Chains A and B, each alone.
Chain A
């Protein structure tokens, strides 16, 4: 862009040129006008001058003529000479008087002229001189005596004589000169009617008998034109001429004013005025320029200077700066101010928007990045990536995210992101694992248009390692749950069956002695039934259907018990050690279940060492500060009692290790193992709010570590042996159970113990009975799972009838929510099936006699 001239220059040029032109024009016009008017003035003035001179000369000549006329009358007098001399002297215009006869012979010459007799040829050949009373003027000629140029005036008198007078032309010239106060350059000359010069400021013209008839203006005058004759050239100069006729001699008086000398008085003021005008215009231009510079250009310049700062963000277009400037600039600067402020605001909001965006992206707990689809260069990374990988912007994505890879990921799915036209298809999702860290990511990628128009790949990768783990665990849990539910259902029925067997067998055993040959058989039956019950319990334990009866348990004593048992069975081949912490904290646990756990683990350990080996049971206090990862889950921080069983057996490899706690999973041959051992251990541990960890290396042995939350009860409190309370009573007990055999069994057991027993088979009947004999009934033993009213509703009704009613709910299942309400509020008690009779009796006593036994509720 061609640089435009500065405003000052433009204005100066504009003003200068235009004004100057205008000024020049004005001056010119004035000059022309002045010239024109002067010209007209000159015309009239000059005419007047010519006329006045002519008039003067004419009057003078007239006077001479009159004089001559008078003289002619005295020509014949002798005194004439004296008179003539006198006149000659005093008029000064005549050189010589001549008295001639008719023929032209000289009679008298005043002053005397020698040697001249005949003057006749001096006179013209016209007849004029013959007419008396007439004057005749000759053309200039050389005076023969004086050698000067003269003109003669001849007058014919009445007496026939002619009086001739020769005019002194120089005197005439003098006379005219005195008449006029002529400027040096101006001319006044007198010509005769032929143009012969009679008087001229330059005497040479007269002396050389010049004729000026060749000059145009003179020719005009000779031809009769008088007045202002116009411009003529003479002696190289330009003159304005006017002419007037002197009628008598028909001479022409010319006045010529040199154009130069006429122009100068006209031009001088014009030049002066022009000069003044020029000065004035210059001043004006200068002043205007100055003012404009002050009021317009300076503010504009500083304004534009400020505006230049606009992109830099540093500007101050305070309107106050331009107070003396013009309104348009003020408006402009105000607009700029507004614009600047808007820009600032927009920049601010843009920045905030960017910030927000950045914050959002950075806040994501996921890796967000954008790569070029051809070069795989990272165009954008969020804070997650920055913190994990550093400032990797610009590097290739596969270099950054993959370990030891030499090219783009083989499963890079760029072609899935764009369609044929190059447009984005949408979000494509996949999971992949980072080879370096093993972390699982859920990747969602999509093709998006970038700011420069190309399509780029944006990927949001979320770390799903935990989720995956969770998923695995959930799957596991669901699996367990499913199995558990299945197992629970079967177990319940089994329990009932077993209960009957065990009960009857027990009664049989009670009745008979050891001598009875059937005693052994019945014992076998009970033992088998017990074992069956044990299995069911395990199953139920796994499915967590059993109610845990929390008591403070000393792990060390449990370990000791188990060890003595095991030593009895396996002492020969295996080395069984104990490593117990004396300060082991008590745990809230079910002792039987702890026993079960230990049994299962030790059995497995010993099975794993068929040739012998070492089995160690260890206890310790563990204070967990941070979560401990044990593979499938984490151990939460807290105080734990550790129970560890380790062997030096065959070990468990990783693949199997993940399944060991699955129900019915066994590595043993069919028939050798139920596959329920570890799963029941798992269930029990879980129910105890504990964790079980298996560490094993094939060939090296295995270690099972169980973390059970510690209880805060002093261990001394826990050292107690559970005494089976064999006790009886004589109170009235109501038994409610829909299962006839169970009902009968229970009635028998209770009656044997001395109680009075009523039994009904439904809730309704129970209520009926209670309404009749309520005050008499001390305890109601109820199976919760009954058809019809159901246990729960019955309880509810019973409690409504008599809030102080003691109810013992028995069930093969864990207490449900509805029952738990009553249990936790102490309105009812619970006992799990299967139970032993002594257990039952003990419990009854506990309930009927408050304060009996130690408080097992924790």
Chain B
């Protein structure tokens, strides 16, 4: 009799182990999203999160990561440096295998050390600072650096629009992006004989009084403005500019190129020109499908942030499939991504975790983002 009991116990234990293994293997893969869900850049964060959410839902519907459910943990980095660190740390501590975020260069730069320390991949959908280009680190992105973008815009402004004088205004809260963008822009602009009449720097977090700011910018009222601000701030500024009756050509970094800009800016932002790697008009079928799904799911059209976030998630999922849902080997898996059919263009991540892309000059025409010019990567020196 004791023998029989021994066998039964052994069998039970085996079954338990089998179940444990089974369920462990079935345990969900947790990924994290960190972005500004509140604060001035919330449009990026909210869209980004929704894009990731949509991607996660679609991935799970297709069977997840090798049968394991993909789960999303969301943290608000509040658009601040500290917030970014906290959010990333919090996510990694809660057990995510990778962090999709942040949405702005400033936050990504702040969070990267944390991610590096905790040996976790930071995959940003929209961070485009060139500061992180060409470094073998934990940072990966599906958005190309903005240097080319900035230069393309400067080129357009001076060549196509024959501008040789501009005022610049940037949000120093996202200096990594805005500063970098502006520098590249100005450099190109100046190399083409342009001149910056006035440099304005604001901090979005300090709730700028746009009315007051506009007074400073009056000197460029007939010239043109180069803005590198969040969509909302851009819209607010333009609204204020128009409110005092100033009309000027507006050039903006791609940062502001969201529906929020349209919403907040209304008709005031008509004619604004952007340089972007995003591809709004030629709807790839995948993008259209994405757009429809997003709209149906969330009630509004996706911004580029959503699309990039969506792509980032898909790319991450691909990499996770290779690693079996595990953290280790993820970097290698990500760098192995070649020609992933992204919503905008095929995504290939190089050994440094960066992507390259063509540039587009976009203008808001009749309330829609329209491509004005397309520059292939090699065209920009």
User: Which residue numbers of A lie inside 8 Å of B, CB to CB?
Assistant: 103-105, 114-122, 139, 141-142, 144, 147, 192-196, 204, 207-211, 213-214
What CA separation (Å) do A503 and B296 show in the bound complex? 194
Contact call A118/B42, Cβ cutoff below 8 A: no
Q: A142-B232, A144-B235, A208-B37 are in contact. Are A121 and B263 (CB under 8 A)?
A: yes
Partner of A118, one of B50, B211, B268: B268
CB < 8 Å neighbour of A121 from B46, B53, B367? B367
B238-274 interface with A by 8 A CB criterion: 239-240, 242-243, 259-260, 262-268
Please tell me the number of chain B residues within 8 Å of chain A, measured between CB atoms.
Answer: 40
- Report B's interface with A, CB cutoff 8 A: 37-38, 40, 42-43, 45-46, 49-50, 53, 56-57, 72, 74, 76, 207, 210-211, 232, 235-236, 239-240, 242-243, 259-260, 262-268, 296-300, 367
* Chain A residues within 8 Å of B50, by CB: 211
**Complex Cα gap A193–B207 (Å):** 32
Bound form: Cα–Cα A105–B265 in Å: 11
Please report the C-alpha to C-alpha distance between residue A10 and residue B236 in the assembled complex, in whole angstroms. Answer: 87
Contact yes or no, A118 B53, CB < 8 A:
no
With A115-B240, A118-B265, A118-B267 known to touch, is A142 a contact of B297 (CB < 8 Å)? no
Contacts of B207 in A (CB 8 A): 147
Docked-complex contact B236 and A209, CB < 8 angstroms? no
| Chain A residues whose C-beta falls within 8 Å of the C-beta of B56 in the assembled complex | 214
Q: Which residues of A contact B72 (CB under 8 A)?
A: 214
Given A122-B263, A122-B266, A142-B43, A117-B242 contact (CB < 8 Å)? yes
Tell me, rounded to whole Å, the shortest Cβ–Cβ distance linking A581 to chain B.
112
Tell which of A118, A147, A192 has the most Cβ of chain B within 10 Å.
A118
Closest residue on chain A to residue B259 by CB atoms: A121
Say whether A209 contacts B37, CB under 8 Å.
Answer: yes
Is the Cβ of A116 less than 8 Å from the Cβ of B239?
yes
Measured in the bound complex, the distance between the Cα atoms of B243 and A105 in whole Å is: 12
Most buried by A among B37, B211, B264: B264
Contact partners of B297 in chain A: CB under 8 A: 194-195, 211, 213
Contact pick for B266, options A121, A141, A209, CB 8 Å: A121
Q: A118-B265, A196-B299, A209-B42 are in contact. List 19 more A-B contacts (CB 8 A).
A: A103-B267, A115-B236, A116-B243, A117-B243, A118-B239, A118-B242, A121-B262, A121-B367, A122-B266, A192-B299, A193-B299, A194-B299, A195-B298, A207-B37, A208-B38, A209-B46, A213-B297, A213-B298, A214-B53
Partner of A208, one of B76, B236, B299: B76
> With A and B bound together, what is the CA distance between A729 and B235 in angstroms?
217
Q: In the complex, what distance in Å separates the CA atom of A480 from the CA atom of B46?
A: 164
B76 nearest CB across to chain A (Å): 5
Across the interface, which residues of B come within 8 angstroms of A193, CB to CB?
299
Q: Chain B contacts of A139 at CB under 8 A? A: 298-300
Contacts of A119 in B (CB 8 A): 266
**A residues near B262, Cβ cutoff 8 Å:** 121
B235 to chain A: which residues have CB within 8 Å? 144
- Asked if A118 contacts B266 (CB within 8 A), the reply is yes
CA of A114 to CA of B208 in the docked complex: distance in angstroms?
Answer: 13
Residues of A within 8 A of B40 (CB): 147
Question: A797: shortest Cβ distance to chain B, in Å?
Answer: 120
Structural contact, B211 and A115, CB atoms closer than 8 A: yes
CA gap between A104 and B266 in the complex, in Å: 8
CB distance from B59 to the nearest CB of A (A): 12
Output the least CB separation between B220 and chain A (Å): 18
Name the residue on B nearest A144 (C-beta): B264
A117 to chain B: which residues have CB within 8 Å?
Answer: 239, 242-243, 266, 268
Shortest CB distance A223–B (Å): 11
**Interchain CA distance A213-B50 in the complex, whole Å:** 10
A213 to B240, CA, bound (A): 37
When distances are taken between beta carbons in the complex, the residues of chain A under 8 Å from B232 are 142, 144
12 A–B contacts from the bound complex (CB under 8 Å): A103-B267, A105-B267, A115-B236, A118-B268, A121-B264, A139-B300, A144-B236, A144-B264, A147-B207, A192-B299, A208-B38, A211-B53
| Shortest CB distance A140–B (Å) | 9
Residues of A within 8 A of B240 (CB): 115
B210 to A121, Cβ gap below 8 A?
Answer: no
**Docked complex Cα distance between A117 and B247 (Å):** 14
Q: Least Cβ distance of B30 to chain A in Å?
A: 13
With a cutoff of 8 Å between Cβ atoms, the chain A residues found around residue B242 in the complex are 117-118
Bound form: Cα–Cα A116–B232 in Å: 12
Q: How far is the CA of A763 from the CA of B36 in the complex (A)?
A: 186
Complexed CA–CA distance, A211 and B266 (Å) = 25
When chains A and B are docked, how far (Å) is the Cα of A147 from the Cα of B53? 24
User: Out of A105, A120, A211, which one reaches B298, CB within 8 Å?
Assistant: A211
A142 pairs with B42, CB closer than 8 A: yes
With both chains docked as a complex, state the minimum distance between the C-beta of B280 and any C-beta of chain A, in angstroms: 15
Closest residue of chain B to A209 (Cβ to Cβ) is B46
Chain A nearest CB, measured from B284 CB (Å):
21
Minimum CB distance partner of A204 in chain B: B76
Q: Which residue of B lies closest to A122 (CB)?
A: B263
Smallest Cβ-Cβ distance to A116: which chain B residue: B239
Chain A residues positioned under 8 Å from B53 (CB to CB): 211, 213-214
Q: How far is the CB of B334 from chain A (nearest CB, A)?
A: 24
Complex CA gap A186/B242 in Å reads 49
**Alpha-carbon distance between A114 and B210 when the two chains are bound, in angstroms:** 9
Q: Nearest Cβ distance between residue B52 and chain A, in whole angstroms?
A: 10
B33 vs chain A, min Cβ distance (A) = 11
Q: Which residue of B lies closest to A213 (CB)?
A: B297
CA of A142 to CA of B44, assembled, Å: 12
Q: Which residue of A lies closest to B243 (CB)?
A: A115
Residues of B within 8 A of A121 (CB): 259, 262-267, 367
Q: Please, how many angstroms separate the alpha-carbon atoms of A122 and B45 in the complex?
A: 19
- For residue A100, give the distance in angstroms from its CB to the closest CB of chain B: 10
- Looking at the assembled complex, report how far the CB atom of A178 sits from the nearest CB atom of chain B, in whole angstroms: 25
In the complex, what distance in Å separates the CA atom of A350 from the CA atom of B121?
A: 105
Give the nearest-CB partner of A113 in chain B.
Answer: B239
The 7 closest A-B pairs by CB, nearest first: A118-B266, A208-B37, A139-B299, A194-B299, A121-B262, A115-B240, A121-B263
Question: What residues of B have a CB within 8 angstroms of the CB of A147 in the complex?
Answer: 40, 207
CA distance A147 to B264 in the complex (A): 12
| Listed residue (A195, A209, A210) with the most chain B CB atoms within 10 angstroms of its CB | A209
With contacts A118-B265, A121-B263, A208-B37 taken as known, whether A194 is within 8 angstroms of B211 at the C-beta atoms is: no
CA distance A192 to B297 in the complex (A): 11
Question: Cα distance A192–B74 when bound, in Å?
Answer: 20
CA of A104 to CA of B239 in the docked complex: distance in angstroms?
Answer: 14
Contacts of B268 in A (CB 8 A): 117-118
Given contacts A115-B211, A122-B266, contact A196 B298 (CB under 8 A): yes
List the B side residues contacting A120 at CB < 8 Å: 266-267, 367
Q: Min CB distance, B200 to chain A, in Å?
A: 16
Residues of A within 8 A of B259 (CB): 121
* Neighbouring B residues of A192 by C-beta, 8 Å: 299
Chain B nearest CB from A121 CB (Å) reads 4
Residues of B within 8 A of A105 (CB): 266-267
Taking the closest CB of chain B, its distance from the CB of A828, in whole angstroms, is 118
* A122 neighbours in B (Cβ, 8 Å): 263-264, 266
- Bound CA–CA A775/B82 (angstroms): 194
Give CA–CA (A194, B295) in the complex, Å: 9
The answer on a CB contact under 8 Å between B263 and A207 is no
Chain A's nearest CB lies how many Å from the CB of B299? Answer: 4
Closest Cβ–Cβ distance, residue B18 to chain A (whole Å): 25
Taking CB atoms, residues of chain A closer than 8 Å to B76 are 204, 208
- Docked Cα-Cα span, A207 to B45, in Å, equals 12
In the bound complex, CA of A308 to CA of B27 (Å): 69
Q: Which residue of B lies closest to A208 (CB)?
A: B37
Cα distance A115–B242 in the bound complex, in angstroms: 8
Given contacts A121-B264, A214-B72, contact A114 B211 (CB under 8 A): yes
> Roughly how many angstroms separate A848 CA and B210 CA in the complex, as a whole number?
211
Which residues of chain B have C-beta atoms less than 8 A from A210's C-beta?
37, 74
CB distance from B145 to the nearest CB of A (A): 28
> What are the residues of chain B within 8 A of A211 when measuring CB–CB?
50, 53, 297-298
Closest A residue to B233 by CB, please name it: A144
